[in-house]
A and B are shown apart, each in its own frame.
Chain A
Amino acid sequence: MAIAASRFGFGFGPQDDPGSDPRAWLKAQLQGPDPGLESGAFAGLPTGGQAVDTLKADAVARKAFLAANPSGQGQFHGQSGPNARADATAQLNFAATTPFSFRERLVWFWANHFSVSAQQNQAGAFIGPMLREAIRPHVTGNFTDMVLAVERHPAMLRYLDNDVSFGPDSRAGLRTGRGLNENLGRECMELHTVGLAAGYTQADVTAMANILTGWSIATSDKGADATGFFYRPFAHEPGPQTVLGRQFDGGEQAGIDALTFLSTYPTTYDLLARKLVTQFVADTPPPEAVARISGVLRETQGDLGATSTALVDLPQAWVPGQKLKTPFDYVLSTMRAAPPPPDQKPPDIMGILNQLGQPVWGAPLPNGWPDQAANWAGSDAVMARIDWAYTYSSRFADAGEDPMQLADNALGPLLRPDTQAAMGSAGSPREAMTLFLTAPEFQRR
Chain B
Amino acid sequence: MLLSRRATLLGLGLTATLGNVRFALADAPTDKRFVVVLQRGALDGMSAVVPYGDANLASLRPALIPPAPGQPGGMFDLGGFFGLSPNFPNLAAMYQSGEMLPIHAVAGPYRTRSHFEAQDLLQIGTDDTSITSGWLNRALAEMPRRDGGSYLGLNAGLGMPLLLQGPVYVDSYAPEHFAEPSPDLLARIAALNSADPLLQPAIAEGIQAANFDKSVMSGNAAATPGADAMSQNSGGAAGSGGNIMSDDRARVPGDVPKTPGGFPALATQIGQLLAADGGPRIAVFQLEGWDTHGNQVNGLKRPMTGLDAGLLNLKTALGPAWAQTCVLVITEFGRTARMNGTKGTDHGTAAAAFVLGGAVQGGRVVASWPGLSDSQLYQNRDLAPTLDIRAVAKGALAQHLGLSGAALARVFPGSGDVSPLGGIIRTA
Q: Spell out A's residues near B (CB within 8 Å).
A: 81, 84-85, 87-88, 117-119, 121, 124, 127-128, 160-161, 164-166, 168, 173, 178-183, 186, 190-191, 196, 202, 205, 324, 344-345, 347-348, 350-352, 354-357, 359-362, 364-367, 373-384, 386-388, 390-392, 394-395, 397, 418-419, 422, 426, 431, 434-435, 438-440, 443
A390 to B213, CA, bound (A): 20
CA distance A434 to B381 in the complex (A): 56
In the bound complex, residues from chain A placing their C-beta under 8 Å from that of B174 are 357, 380-381, 384
In the complex, B406 has a CB within 8 A of chain A: no
**A85 pairs with B113, CB closer than 8 A:** no
**Using Cβ atoms and an 8 Å threshold, which residues of chain A touch B192?**
418-419, 422, 435, 438-440
**Inter-subunit contact B244/A391 (CB<8 Å):** yes
Q: Is the CB of A359 within 8 A of B256?
A: yes
Q: List 21 A-B contacts (CB under 8 A).
A: A85-B251, A85-B252, A127-B253, A164-B294, A178-B341, A180-B341, A182-B347, A196-B114, A202-B381, A359-B254, A364-B40, A377-B160, A379-B206, A380-B206, A382-B199, A382-B202, A386-B206, A419-B192, A438-B189, A440-B195, A440-B199
| Docked-complex contact B176 and A379, CB < 8 angstroms | no
Contacts of B245 in A (CB 8 A): 345, 347-348, 351-352
> What separation, in Å, do the CA atoms of A435 and B191 have in the docked complex?
10
Given A367-B116, A387-B180, A438-B189, does the pair A381, B158 have CB atoms closer than 8 Å?
yes
Instruction: Say yes or no: is B340 at the interface (Cβ < 8 Å to chain A).
Output: yes
- A348 contact set on B, CB distance < 8 A: 245, 251
Separation of A57 and B195 alpha carbons in the complex (Å): 57
Task: List, in ascending order, chain A residues with CB within 8 A of B250's CB.
Answer: 351, 354
Q: Establish whether residues A435 and B254, one from each chain, have CB atoms under 8 Å apart when the complex forms.
A: no
| Given A324-B198, A357-B157, 5 additional A-B pairs, CB 8 A | A181-B342, A345-B245, A378-B160, A381-B172, A440-B193
Interface size class for chain B? 35 or more
Q: Contact between B116 and A388 (Cβ–Cβ < 8 Å)?
A: no
**Across the interface, do A186 and B253 meet the contact criterion of CB distance under 8 Å?**
no
Say whether A202 contacts B379, CB under 8 Å.
Answer: yes
Q: Which of B19-27, B51-59, B235-243, B306-314 lines the interface with chain A?
A: B235-243
User: Binary interface profile of B, 330-344, with partner A (CB < 8 Å = 1, else 0)?
Assistant: 000000000011101
Cα A286 to Cα B138 with chains together (Å):
27
B131 to chain A, nearest CB (A): 14
Bits for B95-112, please: 1 = Cβ < 8 Å to A, else 0. 000000000000000001
Chain A residues with CB under 8 A of B244: 391-392, 394
Give the residue among B165, B192, B249 with the most A Cβ atoms within 10 A. B192
Answer whether A384 and B178 are a contact pair too, CB < 8 Å, given A179-B341, A181-B294, A365-B291.
yes
Cβ of B171 within 8 Å of any chain A Cβ, yes or no, is yes
Query: B417: CB under 8 A from chain A?
Result: no
Contact between B255 and A362 (Cβ–Cβ < 8 Å)? yes
Least Cβ–Cβ distance between A326 and chain B, in angstroms: 11
Binary contact track B124-144/A, C-beta < 8 Å → 1, others 0: 000000000000000000000
In the complex, B41 has a CB within 8 A of chain A: yes
- Rounded to whole angstroms, the CA-CA distance of A168 and B338 in the bound complex is 14
B251 near A190 with CB under 8 A, answer no
Provide the bound-state CA to CA distance between A397 and B237, in Å: 13
Complex contact B179–A118 (CB within 8 A)? no
Shortest Cβ distance from A24 into chain B, in angstroms?
A: 32
**Is the pair A422, B160 in contact by a Cβ cutoff of 8 Å?**
no
Q: Is B188 an interface residue (CB 8 A)?
A: yes
Residue contact B254 to A119, C-beta cutoff 8 Å: yes
Judging by beta carbons under 8 Å apart, are A364 and B116 in contact? Answer: no
- Return chain B residues, CB-CB under 8 Å to A422: 188, 191-192
User: Which residue of A168, A178, A182, A354 contacts B346 across the interface (Cβ within 8 Å)?
Assistant: A182
CB <8 Å contact, A183 and B160: no
Contact B340 A179 (CB under 8 A): yes
List chain A residues, Cβ under 8 A from B170: 378
**Contacts of A350 on B, CB cut-off 8 Å?**
251-253, 255
> A65 CB to closest chain B CB, in angstroms?
19
Residues of B within 8 A of A87 (CB): 253
* Cα(A164)–Cα(B198), bound, Å: 45
Contact of A440 among B114, B179, B196, B346 (CB under 8 A): B196
Top 4 A-B pairs, shortest CB-CB distance: A179-B341, A362-B254, A118-B254, A357-B158
Of the candidates A348, A352, A378, A381, the one having the most CB atoms from chain B within 10 angstroms of its own CB is: A378
Q: Are B254 and A386 in contact (CB under 8 A)?
A: no
- Say how far B106's CB is from chain A's closest CB, in angstroms: 21
**Shortest Cβ distance from residue B211 to the other chain A in the assembled complex, whole angstroms:** 12
Q: How far is the CB of A191 from chain B (nearest CB, A)?
A: 8
Give the CA-CA distance A381 to B172 in the complex, in Å.
Answer: 8
Output the residue of B178, B206, B291, B381 with the most chain A CB within 10 A: B178
Query: How long is the Cα–Cα vector from A160 to B342 in the complex, in angstroms?
Result: 12
Bound CA–CA A356/B247 (angstroms): 15
**B294 and A161 contact, CB distance less than 8 A:** yes
Verify A434–B189 contact, CB threshold 8 A.
yes
Q: How far is the CB of A429 from chain B (nearest CB, A)?
A: 13
Which residues 174-224 of B sit at the A interface, judged by CB distance below 8 A? 174, 176-181, 185-186, 188-189, 191-193, 195-196, 198-199, 201-203, 205-207, 209-210
Q: In the bound complex, how far is the Cα of B347 from the Cα of A386, in angstroms? A: 40
A40 CA to B251 CA, complexed, in Å: 24
Nearest A residue to B162 by beta-carbon distance?
A: A374
- In the complex the two chains form, is B198's CB within 8 Å of A165's CB? no
Report whether A379 and B293 are in contact in the complex, using a CB–CB cutoff of 8 Å. no
A393 CB, nearest partner CB in chain B, Å: 9
Q: Which residues of B contact A381 (CB under 8 A)?
A: 158-160, 172, 174, 202
Bound: A173/B342 CA distance, A: 11
Knowing A359-B253, A364-B40, A438-B192, the reply to whether A179 touches B240 (Cβ < 8 A) is: no
